[in-house]
């Protein structure tokens, strides 16, 4: 399991470099940016403290995104990017922009839920 997790980290880091390569097609870059931003984000869409669901994104979403991005990137670009990634793996960047966006999604979701609950209560009890 640890070997698989290390491989995923290396692949995400390789995608980070592939995204910067001018030989990478536009749509491959678009998918790769999303995958890399989410993988490097310090905030998960589903927080890890939620039982079972918390690790769902790490176990399913990220590997699926990696697999899709890898299929879209030309092999020579991927090989060069993997070489760069393996040599610089210790310098994993954090993507705070993606983290803030995910945090905003959570805040908006909570606000929407509170609004729905408030509307429901106000409808049942007009004095609210």
pLDDT single digits (tens) 61-81: 888 999 999 999 999 999 999
Q: Could you tell me if residue 63 is inside a domain?
A: yes
Q: What is the pLDDT of residue 128?
A: 57
Q: Could you tell me if residue 125 is inside a domain?
A: no
Q: Could you tell me if residue 43 is inside a domain?
A: yes
In percent, the amount of the chain with pLDDT more than 70 equals 88
Provide mean pLDDT across the span 1-22.
84
What whole-number distance in Å separates Cα of residue 98 and Cα of residue 25?
Answer: 22
Q: Could you tell me if residue 25 is inside a domain?
A: yes
Host domain of residue 84: 2-95
Q: Of residues 22 and 58, which shows the higher confidence score?
A: 22
Q: Could you tell me if residue 64 is inside a domain?
A: yes
Q: Could you tell me if residue 119 is inside a domain?
A: no
Q: Could you tell me if residue 120 is inside a domain?
A: no
Q: Could you tell me if residue 55 is inside a domain?
A: yes
Judged against a pLDDT cut of 70, whether residue 117 lies above it is answered with yes
Q: What is the pLDDT of residue 51?
A: 73
Judged against a pLDDT cut of 80, whether residue 120 lies above it is answered with yes
Q: Is the dihedral of CA 55, 72, 79, 37 positive or negative?
A: negative
Judged against a pLDDT cut of 80, whether residue 98 lies above it is answered with no
Count up the domains in the chain and report the number.
1
Provide mean pLDDT across the span 52-69.
82
**pTM: predicted TM-score of the whole model, two decimal places:** 0.60
CA 58 vs CA 45, 52, 55, 110: distances in Å: 10, 11, 5, 23
């Amino acid at each position: 399991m640890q070997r698989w997790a290390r491989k995923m980290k290396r692949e995400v880091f390789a995608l980070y470099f592939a995204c910067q390569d001018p030989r990478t097609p536009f749509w491959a870059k678009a998918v790769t940016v999303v995958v890399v931003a989410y993988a490097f984000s310090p905030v998960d869409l589903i927080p890890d403290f939620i039982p079972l669901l918390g690790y769902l994104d790490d176990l399913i979403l990220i590997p699926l995104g990696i697999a899709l991005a890898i299929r879209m990137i030309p092999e020579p670009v991927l090989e060069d990017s993997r070489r760069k990634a393996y040599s610089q793996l210790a310098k994993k960047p954090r993507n705070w922009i993606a983290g803030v966006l995910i945090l905003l999604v959570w805040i908006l979701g909570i606000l929407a839920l509170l609004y729905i609950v408030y509307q429901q209560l106000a409808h049942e009890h007009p004095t609210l």
